[in-house]
Amino acid sequence: MSGPSRRGLLTGGAAGAVGLAAGGLWGVGVSRPEPDPALAVTLSRGGPRNGLPPALLTPTPAHVRVVALEVVGDGGEEVAARAREVVESWRDEIRALHEHGLEGVVEGAPTQGLRPASLGITLGLGGSLLERSGLGGRRPEELADLPDFAGDRLRQEWCGGDLMLHVGAEDPVVSGSAARHLVGLAGDRVRVRWALPGFRRGAVTAKDPSSTPRNLMGQIDGTVNPHPDQAVFASQVLAVHPDPATAWMDGGAYVVVRRIRMLLDGWFAMPEHEREQVVGRRLDDGAPLGGSKEDDRPNLVARDDAGRSVIAQDAHIRLASPENTLGARMLRRGFDYDLGWDSQGRVDAGLLFTAWQADPRTGFTAVQRSLDEGGDALGDHIRHEGSAVFAVPPAGEDGQVPDPELWG
Ligand code: HEM
């Protein structure tokens, strides 16, 4: 295994301006001959505590490939053994990929000639894997299947999965190629159930790479989120499992992945103030209606001169707020997806929504229930089409994929 180490290859004047201070540093390459130091975003490898999966490190990569796989087999020890083999083979490979990039691992890789692109690979386990392997006793209650929600229009072929690969990078050639390489390595022991590439505004094109990105509806999305620097982060995002049967998830996180189509065909024809009412925030700067800047706390009791709520009763941020959800919190990491048009000629694009939390029952599910019950105004403009929940165990001491012996 040879190849350049990614550490310290590229750091610039803006180093540390974005991202966490702790841990060794990885540079993010930008596709220019002479990188502008202001665009050289520096990533950390360790996060605020050991065991944080790469998917939760900041800054969020510009590209992601989420792949859900089924382990082939009828069940029991056959499935358990295959899953262990697959995860075991991925462990070493993921370490090598993080260290050397795909071009250092695979001869002739499509990533040759690219600068380091902050490849970060995170592995998740579905509840179905534990059940099918005869390890139901090790399934934490937090990993229960999600309930049905009123607005669900799920397509089963875009739901579930025994294993998840979440591959992030600054370049889609890197994320896609690394995902394909790992799936190929698993061979006929697995079958891809569904996969979705997602992206966000890249650091290269953003005038201010530290600003909150916009989603494909044009909204500033991701403002209210626990930050790894905050004391509440661990209690809201990282799971606590003192019980030996589920201790393999102690310090891990549960990720809910939803494929949410945006019904964009008529969205931009709506008057701007109506689009703002849907979410309860201004479109230009993301400030809550009635507020003056993005990080103002929404005033949910404010009324206008006519006595109407400034933030509508069915506004998305009102119904998703801690006030309406018993303080439910999760870390939302949304990525855009854009597959063009479907066979009916309708735009096929939306949000590859990922929500990370200590317990989806009091996190995602509590919020989605509140959105449903309050008649979320955004609900008329989106459609949930895919869904899955995975357990992401804490990474090992070396920051890598955990040993499959832990859960099996
Ligand atoms: C395509 C679907 C969605 C879009 C376009 C969307 C958009 C937004 C936007 C623009 C904001 C305000 C800015 C911010 O704080 O990030 C927001 C806030 C939020 N959204 Fe969504 N969202 C979507 C789906 C969801 C879902 C499925 C959930 C969870 C079930 C959710 C939970 C939240 C929460 C917790 C907040 C923060 C509320 C607060 O101010 O306390 N969103 N969303």
Domain ranges of the chain: 1-400
Q: Is the peptide bond before 59 cis (omega within 30 degrees of 0)?
A: yes
- Distance (angstroms) between ligand 1 centre and the Cα of 94 equals 32
pLDDT at residue 407, rounded to an integer: 67
Which of 200, 221, 314, 370 to probe ligand 1 with, by most ligand atoms within 8 A of CB?
Answer: 221
- Positions in the chain short of pLDDT 50: 1-49
Q: Which residues contact residue 227 at a Cβ distance below 8 angstroms, ignoring those fewer than 6 apart?
A: 233
Which of 60, 224, 284, 389 to probe ligand 1 with, by most ligand atoms within 8 A of CB?
Answer: 224
Q: Can you point out the beta strands (E) in 343-381? A: 347-357
Q: Is 299 in the pocket of ligand 1 (CB under 6 A)?
A: no
Condensed to tens digits (0 to 9), the pLDDT of residues 165-194 reads: 999 999 999 999 999 999 999 999 999 999
Which of 268, 314, 353 to probe ligand 1 with, by most ligand atoms within 8 A of CB?
Answer: 353
Helix ranges (DSSP H) in 133-204: 172-186
For residue 274, count other CB atoms closer than 10 A to its CB.
9
Do residues 149 and 369 lie in contact, with contact meaning Cβ atoms separated by under 8 Å? yes
Determine whether 250 is an active site residue.
Answer: no
The closest alpha carbon to 360, from 385, 320, 331, 395, belongs to: 331
Do residues 65 and 195 lie in contact, with contact meaning Cβ atoms separated by under 8 Å? yes
Do residues 404 and 176 lie in contact, with contact meaning Cβ atoms separated by under 8 Å? no
Give kind and range of the element (H or E) at residue 85.
helix 77-100
- Among the atoms of ligand 1, which is closest to the Cα of residue 322? 41
Give kind and range of the element (H or E) at residue 44.
strand 42-44
- Among the atoms of ligand 1, which is closest to the Cα of residue 298? 40
Please tell me the distance from the alpha carbon of residue 25 to that of residue 45, in angstroms, as a whole number: 6
Would you tell me the crossing angle of helices 172-186 and 77-100 to the nearest 10 degrees? Answer: 140
The sign one gets for the Cα dihedral 226, 138, 86, 84 is positive
The closest alpha carbon to 82, from 5, 20, 138, 162, belongs to: 162
Distances (CA, A) of 141 to 75, 98, 236, 243, 360: 21, 32, 16, 12, 10
The closest alpha carbon to 227, from 8, 21, 13, belongs to: 21
Please tell me the distance from the alpha carbon of residue 394 to that of residue 351, in angstroms, as a whole number: 26
- Among the atoms of ligand 1, which is closest to the Cα of residue 371? 30
Residue length of the chain: 408
Give me the catalytic one of 221, 314, 359, 376: 221
Distances (CA, A) of 265 to 270, 317, 376: 10, 23, 19
How does 243-267 read in b/e, with b if 16+ C-beta sit within 10 Å? eeebebbbbbbbbbbbbbbbebeeb
Residue that is written with structure tokens 């065909």 in the block: 265
User: What are the structure tokens assigned to 374, written together?
Assistant: 């309050």
- Distance (angstroms) between ligand 1 centre and the Cα of 317 equals 6
> Using CA positions, which residue lies closest to atom 6 of ligand 1?
221
- Distance (angstroms) between ligand 1 centre and the Cα of 279 equals 8
- Distance (angstroms) between ligand 1 centre and the Cα of 156 equals 24
User: What are the structure tokens assigned to 86, written together?
Assistant: 């697959």
Q: Is 356 in the pocket of ligand 1 (CB under 6 A)?
A: no
